[in-house]
Chain A
Amino acid sequence: MRLDEPKGGKTLANRTYEIMYIVAPETAEDDLNKLNEAIALTITSQGGTVANTEHMGRRKLAYPIDKKTEGHYVLLEVEGTGKEIFELERRMRVNDAIIRFITVRVDEDRKTADKQKAKRDARLARRNAASNRGGSNQESEQQNAEQNQ
């Protein structure tokens, strides 16, 4: 099935990805900016949107990659269908300045996390309501009295 095809009346377009890439440390500031712009352009030309860009700056690598011990870290948050990710990954693989990249799909994990949080909050609210109803009426009355004073 194609990714851009709607399924059951709802499009599959709404996906969120995190893309992080490491640019070689010897890359000049101008070239780095140019590269970032080119990547952003690749995404938008394929129908995606760059929701967030974060330049994490020059960092020491935890282990050497291609005999390099440092790198410029850039983090993107991209919304789209997955088509632009495919194209972007292809280009990043070809680009020599990018020494490492990773793409992580985050929308589903975030959704489950939100769901769990909502569940926990609801349970907590129910428990609080139950404990307020049973037994601790006196306490709350006392608190009210204190507040009135």
Chain B
Amino acid sequence: MIDKKPADFDEAAASVDIDTVSEQKNERMPQRRYQRRRQGTFVPDYVDWKDIDFLRRFIPERGKIMPRRISGVSAKDQRRVAQAIKRARSMALIPFVTD
């Protein structure tokens, strides 16, 4: 009674060891997602394009706008921050590029 399997039981799938599957997965995908995400970057309701000290947090050394995947802010906040950075750039408050 205990050994009785349902009619649609897949023998092949059942025979595959769960541990080996997870090991294979680990080999194929080495840990690429390291902890880069900076949580808790607070973005105010009104992003002021004149607030350079705040905007500098989103500008790494090169002068580029920090991508969302690194800064960890929401899509909405990223758009507003990016817009503010571009405005500040055009007024020479922030450099376009730094070499």
Which A positions have Cβ atoms within 8 angstroms of B? 20, 22, 61-63, 65, 71, 73, 75, 100, 102, 104, 109-110, 112-114, 116-117
Picked from B46, B50, B95, the residue with its CB within 8 Å of the CB of A62 is: B95
Contact B45 A100 (CB under 8 A): no
Contact A100 B46 (CB under 8 A): no
What is the CA–CA distance of A112 and B45 in the complex, to the nearest angstrom?
Answer: 8
Closest to A102 in B: B91
Cβ contacts under 8 Å, B50 to chain A = 20, 75
Contact with A along B7-41 (1 / 0, CB 8 A): 00000000000000000000000000000000000
Closest to A117 in B: B45
Cβ contacts under 8 Å, A116 to chain B = 45
Contact A71 B92 (CB under 8 A): yes
What is the CA–CA distance of A22 and B45 in the complex, to the nearest angstrom?
Answer: 27
What is the CA–CA distance of A110 and B7 in the complex, to the nearest angstrom?
Answer: 65
Cβ contacts under 8 Å, A104 to chain B = 49, 87
Contact A62 B94 (CB under 8 A): yes
Enumerate 10 A-B pairs (CB-CB under 8 Å) in ascending A order.
Answer: A61-B92, A62-B95, A71-B92, A102-B90, A102-B91, A113-B44, A113-B45, A113-B46, A114-B45, A117-B45
Cβ contacts under 8 Å, B96 to chain A = 62-63
- Distance in Å: Cβ of B52 to nearest Cβ of chain A: 9
Using a CB-CB cutoff of 8 Å, which residues 40-69 of chain B contact chain A?
44-46, 49-50
Q: Does B93 contact A (CB under 8 A)?
A: yes
Picked from A75, A102, A110, the residue with its CB within 8 Å of the CB of B87 is: A102
Give the one of B45, B49, B87, B94 with max A CB within 10 A.
Answer: B45
Contact B87 A100 (CB under 8 A): no
Cβ contacts under 8 Å, A112 to chain B = 45
The 5 closest A-B pairs by CB, nearest first: A113-B45, A113-B46, A61-B92, A62-B95, A62-B92
Known contacts A63-B96, A100-B92, A116-B45, then 19 further A-B pairs from the complex at CB < 8 Å, ordered by chain A residue: A20-B50, A20-B91, A22-B91, A61-B92, A62-B89, A62-B93, A62-B94, A63-B92, A65-B92, A71-B92, A75-B50, A100-B91, A102-B90, A102-B91, A104-B49, A109-B46, A110-B46, A113-B44, A117-B45
What is the CA–CA distance of A114 and B45 in the complex, to the nearest angstrom?
Answer: 8
What is the CA–CA distance of A53 and B35 in the complex, to the nearest angstrom?
Answer: 45
Closest to A20 in B: B91
